[in-house]
Amino acid sequence: LKRRIGDCLLGTWKGLMQMPATLLVVE
């Protein structure tokens, strides 16, 4: 269960890190 939660948090973290990058590219 802990591993699944960790993977979920890691996935959301990667998503948050990618969003600003794409926004900068678009601007």
Query: Radius of gyration over alpha carbons of the chain, in Å?
Result: 12
Return the pLDDT at 4: 92
- Of residues 12 and 26, more confidence is placed in 12
Cα angle, residue 14 at apex, residues 11 and 15 outer, rounded to 5°: 85
The predicted-structure confidence for 2-25, as pLDDT tens digits, reads as follows: 889 989 999 888 888 887 777 777
Return the pLDDT at 27: 65
Cα angle, residue 14 at apex, residues 2 and 5 outer, rounded to 5°: 10
